[in-house]
Each structure stands twice: as structure tokens, then as C-alpha cells.
Structure 1
Amino acid sequence: MILEVKHLESGYGASQVLFGVDLSIQSGQVVTVLGRNGMGKSTLLKTLFGALPIKKGEVFFAGQQINTWTTDKIARAGMAIVPEGRHCFPNLTVKEHLTAFVAHRNPQTSKPWTPERVFELFPRLRERQNNMGNQLSGGEQQMLAIGRALVTNPKLLILDEASEGLAPKIREEIWQCLDVLRAQGQTILIIDKYVQRLMRLADHHIILEKGQVVWQGDSAQLGADPTLWERYLGV
């Protein structure tokens, strides 16, 4: 088990947002967290990464309880995030982004990610390796954010709205990249809104509504019940 969340409660100060959230991710799985805006998805990520305190419940990552760990310690243990908004550094080149964050946080990886492997995955980044982070298009920044996370060789890769604001062609490139990562056994947690595409990619789906898990199941179950889409996803 890579990630196990038990009865998680969290929020901002006196305002509680998550109410008894349970979820688990096995090694090699691709899992999604779905739900409309404001239902607790971002709060869940911030809590998993130690940016928000856990009020109640437990979080286990790679077999260790991480309730009181700092964000830095959680990252060094092998959890990596591709954040919403990409957050590429304007004063670093593409190549510097990929070399500065190289680490080997998953000893079970048979073929570690390197800057060269990222260039193979995203040839466009090779062409722009000397460009600064703020000289890239939105799609190129998203590729760089994914590559930056991959070179840490994470046990768990988390993508927060990775396809948000991208042109359809570029969005499909990102999905194809995730297909490759899944085939290579990378464990992934995805927060996104493109349900139909996620059903082709993910093993398991979790729907959050008002900070609670209201449904979970596989892609066949999600596809077979369109009322779920209308009730909880606004699709």
C-alpha cells in the first residue's frame, strides 16, 4: 500500500472542510479524486502534503504514518506533486529545472527518470531546454512541471488539474504521457474534471461531496451510472 488515508478530518482554522475521508492507493494503481469545485479536493491535497494540519484521522505513506511530517519530509519520502498552475521558476532554464530536482526516492524503480528520459517523453522540452520557465507556453510549462516531478523518481505522483486551461491537442499529449507512465507502473493520484478521459486511464475513482467520500468504484461502475455525473460532477 503506497497511500492509506483513514477517517481524515482537516480544514482551515476553525472551518472544517474534510469529514472522515477514507482512501487507499496500491502500488501501480492510477486513482482519481473527482468532484465539483469547492468540495474539498484541494484541501485533501494540502493535507496529504502537510500544508494543512490533520485534525483527526491518520495518513500512512509507504508504510509510515506521516500525520506530523513537514511538507519537505513528505516530499523526500517520495511523494511528488504537479501543482495546479504549474509554478515553473522564471529564473531557471528548462534544463536547470530538470537537473536541480533529480533524486532517487523510489529504490524499486528499475529505470530511474533522468532529464534525458524526460526529453524523450517530451521532445518539445529538449528543443526549449535553454529557455527560461517564463518563456514557455502553458502546455510546455505543464510538460516541464510533470518532468520536474518525475526526475525525483517518486513513489506517488500527484497531478492537480494537470490539463486545466490547455488546448485540446496539448491536453491529449498530457493524457498520452500519463498512459505511458501507467504502463510503466507509476503510481498516480489525479485530480481533474475530464471524466470520460479519466475512465480510460484510471483503475479507481473517488467522488468527494462537501468534504466526504460519497462514492467510489472502478471505471465500469462509473460509466454505468450517469446519474453520478449529474448529481456530483455537474456533467
Structure 2
Amino acid sequence: MAALLEVDGIDTFYGRSQVLFGMSLTINAGEVVTLMGRNGMGKTTTIRSIMGLTPAARGHIRFRGSDIRGLPSYRVAKVGIGLVPEGRQIFSNLSVRENLIATAANRNGARRPWTYERVVQLFPRLAERINNMGNQLSGGEQQMLAIGRALMTNPHLLILDEATEGLAPLIRQEIWNCLGQLKRDGQAILVVDKNVGALTRLSDRHYIIEKGRVVWQGDSPALLAAPDIQHRYLGI
């Protein structure tokens, strides 16, 4: 069976500076995969390449069997990839409700599509703040809203860049609980974060990158059994 997403040997540049060197990863339907590494090693650039925000110069990016490298970002979103970007980037001048419905679509004919009602059931805090503007929310509430906004596109694949960065411990746990529920529901997820403990409990497989290259890949038991790898590439 073909992978849901296959990133195959991509090279990505910012101007003349090369950031990704033959970057490759795969994600299967219903699978949770992590992208890990120290700051500045190419995690966000990998996501930007997948989304068409910083197009890869070489290699292939296949999604559901079609090569999407070179597509503009709006078309990548339309094929079924939902992004929760680093920094959240919610619409600060729109209410919570308006943020959620602004991107709502069921282009891929999901049998149980994400709706406003389902999102606020997943994140009850948002129901309490439904008429507040985006800039009136806490960081944790903004992250919940960013996840909800991405889910409202009914994606085949959900990508989270720095899923819990800068959030209070209780809010972090709420986000992890949410992602666990999404996994149980069969949602494929690619997640970037620094919390190895939470990631190994949630995820099926992990990729660690160093200077734009994959230097280690494996499942959670293998990563937990390799403290030298964690120390060398993650600083743990």
C-alpha cells in the first residue's frame, strides 16, 4: 500500500543557502510520526517544503500517490494537508467562531466531517470564548484554535509545527490528550515538538534530523532504548 505522504530526497534552499539535503520521510494513513532535532536543523523548512511555502528545488513530495512538489500552498491545502504553523498565526481580528468557519471545507468527502460543534466539543475552552477575538485568547487557547481551524479543513494529514512550545504544563497536557484522541480516531499526524516523553507515548515512528539530513529513524521503543541518540541529537 502506498504511503499517505512520501518525501523523497528533497533539497531546499533559502536563496543560495541550502537547508535540506536529500530529506526523506514517509507517513502512512492513521499514523502519527514525529520530526525531531535541535533548533535550526531544518524541521520547519521540511514542513514549509511539504506545504509549498518554501518549494523544494529537487526531489519528490508525493501525497496520496500524486506528486505535489511545486504546487502553490493553497493547492497543497486543498489536496488534504492541514497545517498548524509555528506561532499559531490565527486571525487576530476575527472571533473564535469566525476563525473556525473561515477555512471550513469538506472537499474530500469525509464521512464524519469536522464541524464547529465537533471542534468545541474537543476543546471546551473554545466554547467559553467563542465570541472573543483571536488576540484576546491566551497562548494555549490560540493553539487550540489553530488546531481546530486546521481540522475544519477535514485534512487527510494534520501537521503541527512546535505543537506545545511556550505553553503551560496543564495546557500542554490538554494538547497531548487532544492529539491522542485524534490518533484513536484514525487521523494521520506529523508533529514537531521537543517533549520526547510525550512524543514517544503518542507516536508510532520518529525521524531525527541534523543539519537538514535524517540521522536516525525508528519507533518509540527504539528511541527510548537509545539515550546516546537522544543526547547527541536532541540535547537530552
TM-score (norm 2): 0.97
CA distance in 1, matches of 2:116, 2:28: 27
- What aligned pairs does 1:9-48 form with structure 2 within 5 A after superposition? 9-48=11-50
Alignment gaps of 5+ in structure 1 = none
Look up the match of 2:182: 181
Look up the match of 1:197: 198
Alignment gaps of 5+ in structure 2 = none
CA distance in 2, matches of 1:48, 1:7: 12
CA displacement 1:166-193 (0-9 Å, x = unmatched): 0000000000000000000000000000
Any conservation in 2 of the 1:99–1:115 contact (CA below 8 Å)? Answer: yes
CA distance in 2, matches of 1:227, 1:127: 45
Any conservation in 2 of the 1:105–1:155 contact (CA below 8 Å)? Answer: no
Look up the match of 2:70: 68
- What aligned pairs does 1:149-228 form with structure 2 within 5 A after superposition? 149-228=150-229
Look up the match of 1:85: 87
Q: Deviation of residue 42 (structure 1)?
A: 1.0
Look up the match of 1:50: 52
Q: Secondary structure at the match of 1:54?
A: coil
Q: Deviation of residue 157 (structure 1)?
A: 0.2
Q: Deviation of residue 101 (structure 1)?
A: 1.2
CA distance in 2, matches of 1:123, 1:51: 32
Q: Deviation of residue 216 (structure 1)?
A: 0.2
Q: CA RMSD in A?
A: 0.8
CA distance in 1, matches of 2:79, 2:182: 20
Q: Secondary structure at the match of 2:207?
A: strand
Any conservation in 2 of the 1:2–1:25 contact (CA below 8 Å)? Answer: yes
Question: What amino acid maps onto 2:89 in structure 1?
Answer: H
Q: Secondary structure at the match of 2:177?
A: helix
CA distance in 1, matches of 2:65, 2:226: 34
CA distance in 2, matches of 1:105, 1:4: 21
CA distance in 1, matches of 2:6, 2:205: 14
- What aligned pairs does 1:106-185 form with structure 2 within 5 A after superposition? 106-107=108-109, 109-185=110-186
Runs of 4+ in 1 over 4 A off after TM superposition: none
CA distance in 2, matches of 1:77, 1:123: 29
TM-score (norm 1): 0.98
Task: Compare 109-118 and 202-211 and name the one that shifted more.
Answer: 109-118
Q: Deviation of residue 21 (structure 1)?
A: 1.1
Question: What amino acid maps onto 1:95 in structure 2?
Answer: R
Count of matched residue positions in the alignment of Structure 1 and Structure 2: 234
Task: Give the fraction of aligned pairs with identical amino acids, expressed as a percent.
Answer: 58
